[in-house]
């Protein structure tokens, strides 16, 4: 495993990180790993809403819906003056 050092970390940011880690019962180091993993996993997320919904429910199986029969487009009503 690789190590990383972060220099010049803002004190307020470090305090927030410490509080967040304590809230979840993790060390600050583990919390940073979780945050980085979550942030980098966002790159793998689908690009649109349809793909997002599909991926979320894909494990449940699919449903085949019958096609919809459509009628031709009607002519526009013309109102005479």
- Say if 76 falls within a structural domain: no
CA distance 26 to 20: 9
3-state helix, strand, coil in the chain (%, to 5): 50, 0, 50
- Say if 39 falls within a structural domain: yes
Look-up of token digits 């979550």: 38
CA distance 10 to 7: 9
pLDDT greater than 80 at residue 5: yes
- Say if 36 falls within a structural domain: yes
- Say if 21 falls within a structural domain: yes
Look-up of token digits 């979840």: 24
Question: For the chain, how many structural domains are there in total?
Answer: 1
- Say if 27 falls within a structural domain: yes
pLDDT tens column, 33-42: 999 998 888 7
- Say if 56 falls within a structural domain: no
Domain that holds residue 33: 8-45
pLDDT tens column, 22-80: 999 999 999 999 999 988 887 666 678 888 888 888 888 877 788 888 888 888 877 77
């Amino acid at each position: 495993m690789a190590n990383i050092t972060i220099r010049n970390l803002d004190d307020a940011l470090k305090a927030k990180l410490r509080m967040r880690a304590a809230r979840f019962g993790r060390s600050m180091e583990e919390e940073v790993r979780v945050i980085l993993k979550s942030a980098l996993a966002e790159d793998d997320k689908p690009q649109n809403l349809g793909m997002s919904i599909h991926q979320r429910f894909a494990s449940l199986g699919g449903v085949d819906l019958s096609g919809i029969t459509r009628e031709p487009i009607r002519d526009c009503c013309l109102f005479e003056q």
